[in-house]
Structure 1
């Protein structure tokens, strides 16, 4: 049985987190909110605890986990040989939605890192998450709290739907603040490389480091199946709802026209269709239409995207036609998730 804790993120006492922290300390699994998405956590240094995460999610064992910490003092038992670029990133972006890949110590088991000699570490800015981790007295491995491959959870009810009776505890602590997983950057080399775009943009990192950084080619396309992923989200299909997603990209007027044509064709074939759009275009469609947010405030699209994908799972649609957005700054992270949700099924117009 899963113990569910309903806690107000804006008004809570430390005592409300005590039981969840105790579960983590004793090797159990607890789902909890962060500023990015909800995560399912376990003691990152205990192999048997980490294995429970993979079992609960149905997650491939070579997919590395992100280790969450409450304070920088925990770094020394997790990572070694931390270079100057990594130190600058820590100083600038922690706590926050940036995961940094570093060389791991012997204390970190291979099951946490997918067999790699590196470890992905993040310090969340979410007060409840950081307090829970601190009270547990262990570093916490925590991927997104969803069934592997499905849309990431941004609300407590998403986690309950996916993981009730699969984990020991679920902390329902309101909606998340960003809605996309953290940016992952490999800081072990001379030039840092982004492995997954997220809440911290490439432009912000380059400004902080005063240098041009790299972006892994896997972000733009398929990951070679014979390689071991260094970051979550690189190798496997992610974020997919039950219905088939087709993403349409191009000039906005051309995109809306193409989606209307595609919908008409699909309906003529007896398919039930949903449309995933933005506030600026929602009036151009009829039928089942969900807006992700406004193109004028891209953060609203980031916050609502996974929720909208889950809304379609509550319907009986067969296909979802989704508008693409401009792939710059935070938009690159949104398009990365949308591309994976569509299984790279993209129509350019």
Structure 2
């Protein structure tokens, strides 16, 4: 067999190359393709002969699976149903990117998989209730993966024991005449392998070091919820306290254990004076609901707080505009806590006014937390 090489320099060439790759994959052939890390070797997971050929080239036994490669996050739920909030947010931050995630699936998740996929597809993708998935940050690979009708699995495009290839020349040196097609996009961006992590529940274990270091990954693991009001002494600290309790209930843990569960709940004010306590009325209204905010100290809303937050809930439209004035790119993460309703400021009211306000905030916070978990 003569290995075909297609050089890709622009979008038109990429589209033609992807069409050719689809033809090869559809017939059970193997395609070497670029990612941002190393070149991969793609096979059609629905064709047993393609998987067998891939195992032969990689000298890989049946019990060692190949990694599923996907072109966008939208298809992830097909392969990993009921993904936790922590993992969803983590993958939103890191994908597309140089990370391979090995998901350990529970009994209920595997039952859903069995009802969705054929035996051949399950055998090709899953092993011991686990599946490895990668979403490359590369335009050509995403085009190929997104538009191909079957799942695509891919190890690195090298022989067992050899260095992973970072350009088409490296691929051909090892596999010329043994595979059908090479999509040549030059040297890969990082020229090193992806990091591999195991995700089991909300825990993460680094299985192989790569482009992303462990400290960077652990920072991206946390889910940060930010509440914003004006002075950060009434509405937003009440929302923060109520959110902590609601999350603890959802996660079956103590409020003090939320950080260990990778959840960070904070609040800030667009016109706050740093270090002020919550108002006595806010403290009392929360205490009557079993929520303690006596340790609160106000802080001013900053760009860093906005950038670190996964979800930003504001009390009214001016707060929304204040967030976007710091970072317009935060729009997709920012919303009024009450949907299309503002939460009026109780500052200056008697405690009864705060009681009414905290009940409104509690209703909205409960709704938001429930929505996050579905």
Match of 1:139 among 130, 133, 151: 151
| Aligned-residue CA RMSD (Å) | 2.2
Match of 1:121 among 122, 129, 133: 133
Structure 1: unaligned runs, 5 residues or longer: 214-349
Match of 2:123 among 106, 110, 126: 110
Alignment-derived partner of residue 95 in structure 2: 94
Q: Separation in 1 of the partners of 2:184 and 2:56?
A: 21
Match of 1:195 among 207, 212, 226: 207
Q: Separation in 1 of the partners of 2:36 and 2:69?
A: 12
Q: Separation in 1 of the partners of 2:168 and 2:124?
A: 27
Q: Separation in 1 of the partners of 2:95 and 2:151?
A: 15
Does the aligned pair in 1 maintain the 2:3–2:178 contact within 8 Å? no
Does the aligned pair in 2 maintain the 1:85–1:187 contact within 8 Å? no
Q: CA deviation at 1:25?
A: 2.9
The change in CA–CA distance for 1:157 and 1:14 in structure 2 (over 3 A counts) is: same
Are positions 1:24 and 2:36 aligned together? no
Q: CA deviation at 1:183?
A: 1.1
1:250-277 CA-to-partner distances (Å, cap 9, x unmatched) read: xxxxxxxxxxxxxxxxxxxxxxxxxxxx
The change in CA–CA distance for 1:93 and 1:10 in structure 2 (over 3 A counts) is: farther
Q: CA deviation at 1:135?
A: 3.0
Give the 3-state SS of the residue equivalent to 1:28 in structure 2. coil
Alignment-derived partner of residue 340 in structure 1: none
Q: Separation in 2 of the partners of 1:96 and 1:5?
A: 25
Greater percentage in helix: 2
Q: Separation in 2 of the partners of 1:116 and 1:45?
A: 19
1:268-298 CA-to-partner distances (Å, cap 9, x unmatched) read: xxxxxxxxxxxxxxxxxxxxxxxxxxxxxxx
Q: Separation in 2 of the partners of 1:123 and 1:56?
A: 23
Q: Separation in 2 of the partners of 1:141 and 1:88?
A: 24
Alignment-derived partner of residue 76 in structure 2: 75
Give the 3-state SS of the residue equivalent to 1:187 in structure 2. strand
Alignment-derived partner of residue 166 in structure 1: 178
Alignment-derived partner of residue 169 in structure 2: 157
Q: What is the TM-score with the length of structure 2 in the denominator?
A: 0.53
The change in CA–CA distance for 1:9 and 1:124 in structure 2 (over 3 A counts) is: farther
The change in CA–CA distance for 1:56 and 1:2 in structure 2 (over 3 A counts) is: farther
The change in CA–CA distance for 1:42 and 1:174 in structure 2 (over 3 A counts) is: same
Alignment-derived partner of residue 6 in structure 1: 6
1:186-238 CA-to-partner distances (Å, cap 9, x unmatched) read: 1123311111111222111111123789xxxxxxxxxxxxxxxxxxxxxxxxx
Q: Separation in 2 of the partners of 1:20 and 1:133?
A: 10
Greater radius of gyration (CA): 2
The change in CA–CA distance for 1:50 and 1:78 in structure 2 (over 3 A counts) is: farther
Does the aligned pair in 1 maintain the 2:8–2:17 contact within 8 Å? no
Does the aligned pair in 2 maintain the 1:183–1:198 contact within 8 Å? yes
Does the aligned pair in 2 maintain the 1:184–1:196 contact within 8 Å? yes
Misfit runs of 4+, over 4 Å: none
